[in-house]
Amino acid sequence: MKVRDAQKLRDFLLIIGFVIMLSGCIWGETLFKIGAVVSLSCFIPHFLYNKCPHCKKQLGRNEGEFCQHCGGKISYSH
């Protein structure tokens, strides 16, 4: 998985999970828990794939072209 895809997936899960959690406030606790699980699962692509291809360090919120640790170019191409 490419870094950019992992970042997209992470943001997607976070937003969807948050929306489910909010609807859980109206529709019940079960939905709230599902939303919490979904939003927490955003950490899976984050920790597994959101890494520099050169030094393998976490990129965090870095969505730029270069790694903030080693300065290496991050490939976002598919």
- Check residue 55 for interaction with Zn ion (CB under 5 A): yes
How many residues of this chain bind Zn ion (CB under 5 A)?
Answer: 7
Segment near Zn ion (CB under 5 A); pick from 8-16, 23-31, 41-49, 70-78: 70-78
Q: Which of 73, 5, 18 is nearest to 44 (CA)?
A: 5
Least distance in angstroms from the C-beta of 2 to Zn ion = 15
Q: Assess contact for 53 and 72: CB atoms under 8 A.
A: yes
What is d(CA 72, CA 15) in angstroms, rounded to the nearest whole number?
A: 30
Nearer to Zn ion, 28 or 71 (CB): 71
- Check residue 74 for interaction with Zn ion (CB under 5 A): no
Q: Assess contact for 76 and 63: CB atoms under 8 A.
A: no
Footprint of Zn ion (CB under 5 A): 52, 54-55, 67, 69-70, 72
